[in-house]
Structure 1
Amino acid sequence: MDYLSFDLSEDTEGVTTLEALASTSKEQHGAVMAEVQQVLDWAWRSFPHTHGPVDEGMDWDHDLQVSVEPGGWHAVTLTLTGSQRFVEEFFARFGGPQD
């Protein structure tokens, strides 16, 4: 990944959140969205029937926000919540969280 780096947080109920934020020029926006699509394609392929609220027993859920900021910068936020199994496989595929 060249644009997305994921930060990790966990709540007291064992739900892990992975969040990535990228703010780029419009020329780089397509490359950012390609990385987002790569992550989501992997998640849908790897966990096709367990997308939904993790606190209801599903393996993963996601939220994608895209906006244009002042000065023409494109902001993309991809938030994934996941079970322990999802997060372990995510790290195996994409590497661990950024420090």
Structure 2
Amino acid sequence: MYLQFLEFDQSEDSDGLRTWDALANPAAVHTTALLAETAALVQHLTQQLGPAGPIDEGHHWDMDLLIHDEAGQPLTLEANAPLCGRITLALSLSGGAELAQQLL
């Protein structure tokens, strides 16, 4: 999947669990596109791997998503209000080989 705004750093623990971390803080003109890209990625992963959830409970992947505006107010990916300001988005994805195949 081509990503324009999300650039991930990958790490792997001794058990083979891989984590991809991305932090994005683009100019305000790109806020809507960043949110759309993030939503599309989450939707794609959910369609391919099932819902995100704890790996030790049998899920194929997990995620942590934090979004806030310039004032530090938390936002959700599903926010329906038009966003015209700058945001910061942090996304962490964890999983094994199945997740790696989807991200490469």
Range class of TM-score, shorter chain: 0.7 to 0.9
Percent identity at matched positions? 31
Q: How many residues align?
A: 89
Matched, 1:39 2:68: no
**TM-score, scaled to structure 2:** 0.75
Q: Which moved more, 1:23-32 or 1:1-10?
A: 23-32
Q: Distance in 2 between matches of 1:89 and 1:75?
A: 24
Q: Which 5+ residue runs of structure 1 have no aligned equivalent?
A: 92-99
Tell me by how many angstroms 1:9 deviates: 0.5
CA contact (8 A) 1:67 1:75 kept: yes
Q: Residue type of the partner of 1:82?
A: G
Q: Which 5+ residue runs of structure 2 have no aligned equivalent?
A: 72-84
Misfit runs of 4+, over 4 Å: none
**TM-score, scaled to structure 1:** 0.78
Which structure has more helix as a fraction of its residues?
A: 1
Root mean square deviation of aligned Cα: 1.7
Partner in structure 1 of residue 4 of structure 2:
2
Deviations 1:8-66 (A, max 9, x none): 01111211001111102332111111110111011110012x63112343210111101
